[in-house]
Chain A
Amino acid sequence: MTILRATAAVFAFECRRALGWRRGLLVLGLASFPAVILWLIRHEGGQLNRQEAWPLALFVLIPELVCLLGLLLWVTPMIQTEVEGKTWPHLAVRPAGKLSIMLGKYAAGVFWTVLTAWLALALAMWVVWPLPDATRVARVLAVLAVLSSMTYGALFSLFGVVFLRRGMIFAVGYTLVEFLVRLIPAIIRQLTVQYHLQSLLVAWMHWEEVNRRMGPFFGVTTPAESIATLVGYTVFLLGVTAAVLRRRQLVTAVETA
C-alpha cells in the first residue's frame, strides 16, 4: 500500500515538474515531425499506392519512432538525472524510495510519451486525411502507442538503471539490433517487441491479404498471445530493473580516505 501510494506521489510530482515550456516544446517538436514528414511526401506528389501504405507509415512513425524517442528522453535517464543532480541520497533513504521512484518515474515517462504519440497521431491523421477506415486506424495506432511505450519503457528503464550514464547509447543500440533481428526469418524474431507490435497491427487492421503475402515478415501470433507477451515483458523487465536498483549503490559523492 505504501509503495502504491508513494508511486502515485512520484508520478504526480514528476508530471507537475514536467509542466513547463521546455517539455511543451519537446512534446510539440516530437509530435509534429511525423506530420511534417507525411506532409512533405504529399507535397512532393508522393503517392503510397496500396491502401495499407499510409497506416503502415503512421505505424513506423508513431508507435515506433515517436514512442522510442520519447522514452529515450523521459524514461532512460530517470535514475541518472537524480544521481547526477545529487538528489538521489534524499530519495534513497526513504522507506519507499527506490522502488516507488523507479515505478513513478517510469509511469510518468510512459504517460508523457503516450500523450506525445497521441498528439502526433492526431496531427499526422490530419495531414493524410482523407484516409480509408480512419477510425480504425486511429484506434489501433493509439493502442499500439500505449503498448509500445509500456514495453519499450520497461526495457529502457532497465538500460538506464544498469548502464546509468550510457543508458541512452545502449537503448539506441538495442533498438537497431532489434530492428535487424526482426528481419531474420527465424524464431528469434518472435522475441522482439517490434514483431508483436506489427502482428497486432496486421491483426487489428484485418489485413488478411497482407498477412497471407507477408506472413513470414509480419508474424503469425494471435493478438492475445502478442498482448500477453508484451505485458509479460513489461512486468519481467520492471522486476529486473527493481532488483538491479535495489542492489546498486548509487552514492553521488564518494568520499575516500
Chain B
Amino acid sequence: MIALRRVTKLYGSVIGVNDVTLSLPQGAYGLIGPNGSGKSTLLNLMTGQLRPTLGEVRVFGDDPCNNPDVLRRLGVCPEQDSVYADVSGLEWVAYLLQLHGFGRREAWRLAADSLDRLGMASAMRRRMGSYSRGMRQRTKLAAALAHDPELLILDEPLNGLDPIGRHEVTVLLQEWIHRGRGLLLASHILHEVEAVTQSFLLICGGRLLASGSAEEVHALLAEIPNEIHFRTNDASRLARRLVEEKAAESFRFVGEDGLIVATRNPAVLYARLPQWLAGTGIEVRELRSTDESLQALFSALMRIHRGNA
C-alpha cells in the first residue's frame, strides 16, 4: 500500500523526516509521535504534497506527486483546522468531490450522505463560520470519506471533538477497517490510535523509532502513568466520580475548572466516560492528553536510537 525507501525531507537546513524506510501492506496503522515529530511531513510526502529531498515514496506502487491515479484512491483529512467560513459544509464537501471528478449532482448527493454519516445532517446547510471546532472536524472527515477511497490518511482527526464525537468517529473508523479499507491515522495521543488500530509506527525527531502492536507499545509504557487534562463545570465531583470507578491513580486541580488525572487505563476511561457521567450534570468542556508519558517514551526511544541508553 505504502512504501518509503530511505526518505529524507529537508526544509533548507532543517530536517523534517530523516532517512525513513518502511513498507506498509494493506491495513490500518497508527502513526504516533509528539507534536513536531515529523508526522505531518511524512503524511505530506505520502499524499504527494511534498517531494522527498532524498529517497523514494510509493503509494499503490506509484509516485503520489501530481499523480491523479493515486490521489483518486486517497481520502485525506489534513490537520489544518481551516475551512471557508462563508460557505456551508454541504457546499464545501460537494465542491471537493467535484475536484475529485464527480459530476455536480452526484457530488451533492455523496456530500449529503457523508455529512449525514458524520452526524452533521442538521448543520450541513449552515455556514461553516458558525461551526464549532468539532463540527469543522466532522466536516473535514466527511470530505475525506465521501468518495469512498481505498486508503484514508488522517492527521489528528479527533482534535477538537467532544467525548461523544470521539466515540462516534472511533466507531466509524473501526467499521472502515472492518470493511478491509486502508487507514493511516496520525496522532500524538496513543489511546486515540489504540481505540482504532493495533498496529503502530512511532516517530520522533523525524525518525521512525519503532513499530509494533499495541501490546509491545504498552510494555514500553507500563511504568509510565498517562495524564489526561479535563476542563469541566465541576472538577471536584468529576474527580470523585473517577475515584468511584477506580479510573484514576492521582489528581491535580488546575485553576477553577481544570483537572489533571493520572491513569494507567486511559483507553477504558475514554470509552466509559460518557456512560459514567450520564445524568450526573457534570459537563466535560475539554478533554486532552497532556501527553507527558508518551513524550517520556519517545525520549527513551530517542536515547536508545542514538545509542545513549
| A interface with B by C-beta (< 8 Å) | 2, 5-6, 9-10, 13, 16-17, 20, 85-87, 89-98, 100-101, 246, 249-257
Bound Cα distance A87, B185 (Å): 20
Q: Are A95 and B99 closer than 8 Å at their CB atoms?
A: yes
CB-based contact A251/B44 at 8 Å = yes
Q: In the complex, which of the residues B11, B51, B96 contacts A94, with contact meaning CB atoms closer than 8 Å?
A: B96
On chain B, the residues within 8 Å of A9 by CB distance are 95, 98-99, 104, 107
Q: Is there contact, CB below 8 Å, between B96 and A90?
A: yes
In the assembled complex, the Cα of A93 lies from the Cα of B44 at a distance in Å of: 9
Q: Is there a chain A Cβ closer than 8 Å to B40's Cβ?
A: yes
Which chain A positions have C-beta within 8 A of B96? 90-91, 94
Can you report 9 residue pairs joining A to B where beta carbons are below 8 Å apart? A5-B98, A6-B101, A85-B84, A89-B49, A90-B83, A94-B96, A94-B100, A96-B100, A98-B66
Closest to B51 in A: A249
**Interface pair B143/A90, CB less than 8 Å apart:** yes
**Number of B residues whose C-beta is below 8 Å from A?**
51
Q: Is the CB of B49 within 8 A of A6?
A: no
Contact A255 to B36, CB < 8 A, known contacts A6-B98, A95-B71: yes
Which residues of B, 55-97, contact A by the 8 Å Cβ criterion?
66, 68-69, 71-72, 74, 76, 78-84, 86-87, 91, 95-96
Known: A89-B78, A95-B101. A17 touches B84 (CB 8 A): yes
Chain B residues with CB under 8 A of A16: 87, 91
Question: Which residue from B18, B72, B86, B98 sits with its C-beta under 8 Å from A257?
Answer: B18
- 3 smallest CB-CB distances across A and B, nearest first, come from A257-B206, A86-B82, A9-B98
Asked if B37 CB lies within 8 Å of chain A CBs, one says: yes
Cβ-defined partner of A87 (8 Å) among B36, B44, B82, B206: B82
Give the nearest-CB partner of A13 in chain B.
B95
Query: Are A5 and B101 in touch, CB under 8 angstroms?
Result: yes
Beyond A90-B78, A255-B38: 5 further Cβ-contacts under 8 Å?
A: A9-B107, A16-B91, A250-B49, A251-B50, A257-B37
Residue of B nearest to A257 (CB): B206
